[in-house]
Amino acid sequence: MGQITWHGHACTEIRTDDGFRLLIDPFLTDNPMADVGPDHFTDGLDHLLLTHGHFDHVGDAWDILRETGAQLIATFEIVAYAGDHEGVENSHPLHIGGGYQFPFGRAQLTPALHGGQVAGENAGPYSTFPAGFLLELNGGTTIYHAGDTALIKDMELLEGRVDVALLPIGDNFTMGPADAVRAVEMIDPDTVIPIHYDTMEVIEQDPRAWARDVGDRAEVVVLEPGGTHDY
C-alpha cells in the first residue's frame, strides 16, 4: 500500500507501494504550516518534483537535492537553472504535455495557469511555464498534483483517469473553493485532497466547508500537516 503525506502548502510526499519516495514542492523552512524540515528527507529520497519556480514551491529543493542526490524532475528551464547555478547534476527535464517512464512509473507534466518565475540567484533568464504532475505509478494508482493553477478546461481531459487529486483551494494566487469544486466535477477523481491554503492570511480557507461543498462528487480527505492518506 502506498501513502501520501501532506507537509503543508503544496508540499507532498509520496511513498509508492514498491518502495520509492517522491517529494513535490518542498517549501519547508519558511513555511509556518510545515510539520518537518528538510532534514526529514536526508535519510533517503529518490525523486524531487517541482511544479514551478516560485519560492513557496522551490523552497528547500536545492539543499535537499544536494544532500540526498535525489533526481530532480521539472521543466527544462528549472532543470537548466538547477544545473547551472545550484550544482544539481541528477535531473530529468520535461515539458508541458510530455512524460517519461521513471523507475516509480510514468510522470507527465500537465498544463497549469499561473506565473512562471524561477526563484533563485541569477535566475532571470530561466522563467518557465508552471505545470501539474500526472503520476501513473507502477502499482496502478494515478495521482494528479495540480500545482498552482486557475480552473482550466484542460482538466476535463483528466476525467476518469485520476485516483487521487491534490487541488489548490486557497484563492488569491490559485483557484478558490468554488472553482476547485468545479475542478472535481471535471476530473471526477475517486479521492481529492485540498492543498495550498492557510499558509498566509490571503489564502485562509475552511477545508471542511469545502469538503461539504464537494459532497458526493468524490471522497474528500482533509489532512493536517504531517497527515497521511493510504492509497
Contacts of 117 (CB under 8 A, 6+ apart): 53, 54, 123, 127
> In this predicted model, what pLDDT tens digit does every residue of 127-151 receive, in sequence order?
678 999 999 999 999 999 999 999 9
C-alpha cell at 166: 491534490
pLDDT in tens, 75-109: 999 999 999 999 999 999 999 999 999 999 999 99
Cβ–Cβ < 8 Å for 22, 16:
yes
How many angstroms separate the CA atoms of 17 and 81, rounded? 32
Quote the pTM value. Answer: 0.95
What structural domains does the chain harbor? Answer: 3-221 (3.60.15.10)
pLDDT higher than 90, residue 126: no
What is the Cβ-side half-sphere exposure of residue 158, based on CA atoms within 13 angstroms? 31
> Per-residue pLDDT averaged across 161-171, rounded?
98
Beta carbons within 10 angstroms of residue 84's beta carbon: 13
